[in-house]
């Protein structure tokens, strides 16, 4: 079983959204970010005829979820891939389309809780932040080798950090004396670089910089830009997609991708929908849904979640 601190976010709501698709019938669900398997385990339990294709870029997460989901036997296929590889993952297990797709974006509980992964600014650890630690460059590589201009862009675009220029000036001066290796030194620098008034009211001064570095290291926004059309294109008519985002940049991309395909292309003023011009998707949520106070109290990581869902109602354009 998974570690006891792992609590799936908005679990009841996700089961509710998939019930019209999977209740009392065969179906294929892709969990594009299986993590420790909490959502998948509950969905397999709720829908006994469900087949799961579970993806994750983190080999350690796949190993843990394999243990948790083993009781469901051959109803589960696990695939080591980044979620923009969803169509290829389906093909690898003999499938072309899915009846449901779930994305639980961002960093997982296990990645946050393991200090050696370098995601949490509350613990001194190596500046790694790779979701797949077997490949790619680390957060330390970014801090030590990127030009000042590149670092400012990352902090502004991915961290929405208004003190990006001030922070980068301090980083460049510090790395000239000694390259960055651990998070503790970076956190100290951020405490000094972010004005005291902002520290008192704007949350932890490292939060935005750590988010920006993590997004850059893992290419999260670029991957999501590719993954959304790939996932939407892999859904059958009547199939549903549910996406949980934890920061505004992700949520914006998801919102735009769903809204674009939920629009009619029939010119305004015509009395009937032109064939082939109707919306491909129907939105199932009014805006982004949030966790309630009770869930946030039980699970603080639910505080920033934004859930969006949609159902395919028409053939791809």
Query: Residue 273's domain spans which residues?
Result: 11-104+220-312
Tell me whether residue 104 is annotated as binding.
yes
Q: In terms of C-beta density within 10 A (0-12 exposed, 13-18 middle, 19 or more buried), how is residue 276 classed?
A: exposed
3-state secondary structure of 282: strand
Tell me whether residue 118 is annotated as binding.
no
How many CB atoms lie under 10 A from the CB of residue 157?
A: 15
Instruction: For residues 103 and 92, give the distance between their C-alpha atoms in angstroms, rounded to a whole number.
Output: 19
Instruction: For residues 56 and 196, give the distance between their C-alpha atoms in angstroms, rounded to a whole number.
Output: 39
| Per-residue model confidence (pLDDT) at position 316 | 74
Instruction: For residues 82 and 91, give the distance between their C-alpha atoms in angstroms, rounded to a whole number.
Output: 15
Tell me whether residue 111 is annotated as binding.
yes
Assigned domain for 3 exists: no
- Compute the C-alpha angle 232/234/237, nearest 5°: 80
Tell me whether residue 165 is annotated as binding.
no
Q: Block means of pLDDT (10 residues each) for the chain, length 317 residues?
A: 63 98 96 95 97 94 95 97 96 97 78 56 85 91 98 96 96 97 94 78 81 94 96 97 95 96 79 75 96 93 95 85
Instruction: For residues 271 and 217, give the distance between their C-alpha atoms in angstroms, rounded to a whole number.
Output: 50
DSSP H helices in 109-261: 109-113, 139-145, 148-159, 164-177, 183-193, 196-201, 207-218, 220-233, 248-261
| Per-residue model confidence (pLDDT) at position 197 | 67
* Domain total in the chain: 2
Tell me whether residue 278 is annotated as binding.
no
Look at residues 64, 42, 8 and name the one whose alpha carbon lies nearest to residue 301: 8
Tell me whether residue 84 is annotated as binding.
no
Prediction pTM value: 0.89
| Per-residue model confidence (pLDDT) at position 81 | 95
Assigned domain for 183 exists: yes
177 and 264 housed in the same domain:
no
63 and 199 housed in the same domain:
no
Residue 141 maps to which CATH number? 1.10.150.170
Tell me whether residue 83 is annotated as binding.
yes
């Amino acid at each position: 079983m998974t570690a006891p601190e792992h609590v799936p976010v908005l679990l009841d709501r996700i089961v509710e959204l998939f019930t019209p698709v999977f209740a009392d019938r065969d179906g294929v669900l892709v969990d594009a970010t299986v993590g420790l398997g909490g959502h998948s385990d509950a969905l397999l339990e709720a829908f006994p005829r469900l087949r799961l294709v579970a993806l994750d870029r983190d080999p350690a997460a796949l190993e843990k979820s394999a243990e948790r989901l083993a009781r469901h036997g051959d109803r589960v296929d696990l695939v080591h891939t980044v979620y923009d590889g969803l169509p290829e993952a389906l093909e690898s297990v003999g499938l072309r389309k899915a009846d449901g797709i779930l994305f639980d974006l961002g960093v997982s509980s296990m990645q946050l809780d393991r200090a050696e992964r370098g995601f949490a600014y509350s613990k001194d650890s190596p500046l790694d932040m790779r979701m797949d630690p077997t490949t790619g460059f680390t957060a330390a590589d970014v801090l030590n080798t990127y030009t000042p201009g590149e670092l400012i862009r990352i902090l502004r675009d991915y961290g929405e950090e208004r003190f990006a220029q001030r922070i980068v000036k301090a980083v460049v001066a510090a790395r000239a004396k000694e390259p960055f290796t651990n998070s503790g030194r970076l956190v100290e620098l951020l405490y000094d670089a972010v004005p005291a008034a902002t520290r008192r009211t704007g949350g932890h001064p490292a939060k935005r910089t750590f988010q920006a570095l993590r997004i850059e290291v893992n290419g999260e926004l670029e991957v999501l830009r590719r993954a959304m059309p790939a996932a939407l294109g892999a859904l059958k008519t009547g199939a549903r997609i549910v996406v949980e985002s934890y920061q505004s940049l992700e949520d914006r991309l998801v919102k735009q991708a769903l809204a674009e395909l939920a629009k009619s292309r029939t010119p305004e003023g015509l009395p009937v929908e032109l064939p082939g011009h109707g919306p491909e998707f129907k939105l199932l949520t009014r805006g982004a849904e949030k966790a309630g106070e009770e869930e946030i109290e039980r699970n603080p990581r639910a505080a920033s979640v934004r859930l969006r869902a949609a159902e395919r109602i028409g053939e791809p354009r």
